[in-house]
Structure 1
Amino acid sequence: MTAVHIEVLGSVFAVDIPSADDAGRIRDQWARCMAPADAATVGDVPYGSHDDSDRRDYALASSLTMAGITQAAGSRLMLHAAGVADRGTGQVAVLVAASGTGKTTAAHRLCSTEFGYVSDETVSIGADDDVLPYPKPLSVVIDGDSPQHKSQHGPDELDLQPCPAQPHAALFALLERDRDAEAEPGAAPALERVPLMDGLLELIPQTSALPAMRRPLQTLAGALQRAGGVWRLRYREVEETATLLRDALRSRTPDPTRVVAFEPADDRSSRPTPEPTEPTQPTDSDQTSAASDEVPDLPDTTCVIRAPYVDAVGIEDEIVVLVGSRPARLSGLGATLWIHAAASESITRLTELCVAEHGDHPQAADLVRDAIRDLLQHSVLQQVG
């Protein structure tokens, strides 16, 4: 039995490996994450017993990543992203994408020559936008018909450039490869700005343990603002984006969009919340939302108040509320109702407030009641008494 110590997202884990051959291969794959033999560990991660060594190694990579995320939950912002760093400045482009949609390819091709390798899986960002490198082995699909059958290749084996000192997040980009680009072989890659609210909501499902953070939406929105907002990187082949990314990193300016914080009354945002097993998509709630059949008729005297929430931010004329691990996007009447329901209010009073803000309407009372039903159904508001 051979014990190896591997550092993952700031924590060291012990892995006991029965075979010396397996241990040597794991050391090579994880060379840039190896910790000293006498390093203090926070736990053990098992090495599997599958007959296929590629499956054993991939399972170990997945287990180590999950263990590191669990250990770091609540302390740092973590995104499912490839991280590539400008070797001269340490500025990191955080290339966000769902699993299987281009992160590893981006890290491999961009870090072969132009950029320093930060990670192909998880980018960990601190309060000062510092990035904690996670130079794990790259997981490469062996058979396209079996996307979970992957081989592991260490960054040294692939000759990836090392991460520079003091890396820091400076660009957030959503990867979008043009798979029909053969029809336009001359199309150049492009960075397109995404409105801050839209970008925030696209990033939330690609975070790890976000609700466990203190003020998670404020933390994420602040990081995005300082880095110049959110961009969509459209490309045919990712290596063609190198110059575009480098220039964007070196010319970034903060996003001026105004963000307003809504503090939970009982400091709920400091309480860890379990991470969902599947990415959650935002719920929209506005004046056109259909009323839920599951909420009974509401008399005018019914009083409602904001339901418990983890965090909330206002961006332009919309609000996003994090209810547990689920974001709810509020606009129009939904946003107005939520703002005025900081304390208990009756439907009659909320209708008056909505009319004062949005103007009168022949069906004002029905529209407000329908919007309240929708907010109740999605646990954004709750009835009082």
Structure 2
Amino acid sequence: MQTDDILVNALGGLVRIRFDFSDQQFDEARWGKLRGPWSDAMPGNDPTPAVEDIVAELLWAFPDDDGLPGSVAELSTHTTLAAIEAQRGRLLMLHAAGIAHPSGQVLAFIGPSGRGKTTLARNLGAKYGYVTDETVGIEADGRVHPYRKPLSVIRPGEAYKEQLAPSGLGLGALPSAPLALAGLVLVSRLDGFSGAAAIGTLGLCEALVAIVPEISYLADMNKPLQTIASHVARCGAIRQVTYGEASEVLPLVPQLLAWEQPEAWEAVLPTEETAGVRSPLAPESYLLAPVLDAVEAGGLTAVLDGNRMVHVLDGVGPLVWRSLCEGRNFASLAQAVERQFGAPPEQKLEEAVVGILSTLADAGLLVRVPAA
């Protein structure tokens, strides 16, 4: 079996793609079509610090001419999955497009598939350095690892998207300066949008609802909400850019790179002494359900449950959550609610508090425990 390989610099590690030629005769032209799309991600063509560790390996069958387009496209997908799998639990990996200013400042444009990130990367990458159109990998200290994978381009009448190297599309090289996260931007591309492209600032808890689904291997991360909040505190408030055409975003990049004061935040999690509260109106107790993380900012509390869903508590919810995390009993909790919000006008205080506890239980954040 004849084999050869391609080394790809992906998210702070090397992925080695090995090719099996046992069923196909080696063809230099076909080999070039397999290697060409990855040329900008090969270590020798990447100015980021050299990576020595091979974190993942793929063995790929050398395709014939008929299977070449599909093989090139599928190889890109499998390489991405291998790179992400290798860094699970270590990096914050956002489903995002990334571009880099010559200073090394990186903007991550976050959004689900089909939101136009590749088109955005092509437009912005014509002036700035192309970091990725797929996954932005971020270290705890804000350093960004590039993934200069091929971009997928639709060709009329073709079953598979063509995979092209960034440089082949005229996209910018990475700066020589170290890459560091400078902004998190939620993408809101609206078909038929007729207004001018606009930037909005989002509160942390509000933004977490949109960001959390776009994180790879979220449950493997240590304190994922706190990790995001720490990055926000370092790089500035989370923005959202609303636009119709990607070209409209280019003039906004300097403003997106400008630092804006983020909200102060703190973690709000159960203490070891938390035992739950007993309802005086029914023979049951309410215990905090296991959660992955929780943070408070701007008068709201974002709680990440065991199913990786973010719940945003407002009104009296943050006070109740904090009180439960601090281990208060029912009487102390009710007093805290009355001090901050006053007595409810249409029902007894105890009934109102039990109603809040019941709502949190219905959301899966508390567990009802019947009396023995």
Q: TM-score category by the smaller chain?
A: 0.7 to 0.9
Partner of 1:203: 211
Give the distance between the partners of 2:238 and 2:52, measured in 1 at CA: 38
Which one of 127, 149, 158 corresponds to residue 140 of structure 2? 127
Partner of 1:94: 108
Once the two structures are superposed, residues 244-293 of structure 1 have per-residue CA deviations (whole angstroms, 9 ceiling, x without a partner) of 212431x32332x1211124547xxxxxxxxxxxxxxxxxxxxxxxxxxx
Gaps of 5+ in 1: 267-296
Partner of 1:152: 163
Which one of 323, 341, 354 corresponds to residue 369 of structure 1? 354
Instruction: List, as ranges, runs of 4+ consecutive aligned residues in structure 1 with deviation greater than 6 Å.
Output: none
The amino acid of 1:73's aligned partner reads R
Q: Secondary structure at the match of 2:54?
A: coil
RMSD: 2.8
- Identity rate, percent: 30
- Asked whether 1:75 is paired with 2:90, we answer yes
- Asked whether 1:57 is paired with 2:72, we answer yes
Which one of 241, 263, 266 corresponds to residue 260 of structure 1? 266
The amino acid of 2:139's aligned partner reads G
Partner of 1:291: none
Q: Secondary structure at the match of 1:45?
A: strand
Is the CA contact (8 Å cut-off) linking 2:97 and 2:121 kept in structure 1?
yes
Aligned length: 344
Give the distance between the partners of 2:4 and 2:104, measured in 1 at CA: 36
Partner of 2:7: 5
Is the CA contact (8 Å cut-off) linking 1:303 and 1:346 kept in structure 2?
no
Please give the residue correspondences for 1:234-253 in structure 2 after superposition, counting only pairs within 5 Å. Answer: 234-249=242-257, 251-253=258-260
Superposition deviation, residue 225 in structure 1: 2.8
The amino acid of 1:3's aligned partner reads D
Which one of 346, 350, 357 corresponds to residue 340 of structure 2? 357
Give the distance between the partners of 2:182 and 2:199, measured in 1 at CA: 14
Q: Secondary structure at the match of 1:163?
A: coil
Give the distance between the partners of 1:371 and 1:143, measured in 2 at CA: 56
The amino acid of 2:16's aligned partner reads A
Please give the residue correspondences for 1:172-191 in structure 2 after superposition, counting only pairs within 5 Å. Answer: 172-181=184-193, 184=194, 187-191=195-199
Is the CA contact (8 Å cut-off) linking 2:203 and 2:298 kept in structure 1?
no
Is the CA contact (8 Å cut-off) linking 2:270 and 2:326 kept in structure 1?
no
Is the CA contact (8 Å cut-off) linking 2:55 and 2:83 kept in structure 1?
no
The amino acid of 2:124's aligned partner reads L
Superposition deviation, residue 338 in structure 1: 1.7
Structure 1 residues 131 and 299 mapped into 2: Cα distance closer, same or farther (>3 Å)? same
Structure 1 residues 142 and 261 mapped into 2: Cα distance closer, same or farther (>3 Å)? same
Give the distance between the partners of 1:143 and 1:365, measured in 2 at CA: 66
Give the distance between the partners of 1:366 and 1:143, measured in 2 at CA: 64
Once the two structures are superposed, residues 84-112 of structure 1 have per-residue CA deviations (whole angstroms, 9 ceiling, x without a partner) of 1112x111111112111111111112112
Superposition deviation, residue 344 in structure 1: 5.6
Partner of 1:313: 295
TM-score, scaled to structure 1? 0.80
The amino acid of 2:117's aligned partner reads K
Once the two structures are superposed, residues 201-258 of structure 1 have per-residue CA deviations (whole angstroms, 9 ceiling, x without a partner) of 2111111122322221111012123222111112232223223212431x32332x12
TM-score, scaled to structure 2? 0.83
Give the distance between the partners of 1:40 and 1:259, measured in 2 at CA: 36
Give the distance between the partners of 1:383 and 1:353, measured in 2 at CA: 22
Is the CA contact (8 Å cut-off) linking 1:79 and 1:96 kept in structure 2?
yes
Which one of 304, 325, 349 corresponds to residue 286 of structure 2? 304
Is the CA contact (8 Å cut-off) linking 1:304 and 1:347 kept in structure 2?
no
Structure 1 residues 26 and 345 mapped into 2: Cα distance closer, same or farther (>3 Å)? same
Superposition deviation, residue 144 in structure 1: 9.6
- Asked whether 1:331 is paired with 2:314, we answer yes
Superposition deviation, residue 346 in structure 1: 5.7
Give the distance between the partners of 1:300 and 1:352, measured in 2 at CA: 19
Bigger drift between 1-10 and 72-81 goes to 1-10
Please give the residue correspondences for 1:97-112 in structure 2 after superposition, counting only pairs within 5 Å. Answer: 97-112=111-126
Gaps of 5+ in 2: 45-50, 273-278
Give the distance between the partners of 2:321 and 2:131, measured in 1 at CA: 41
Give the distance between the partners of 1:145 and 1:380, measured in 2 at CA: 48
Superposition deviation, residue 116 in structure 1: 0.4
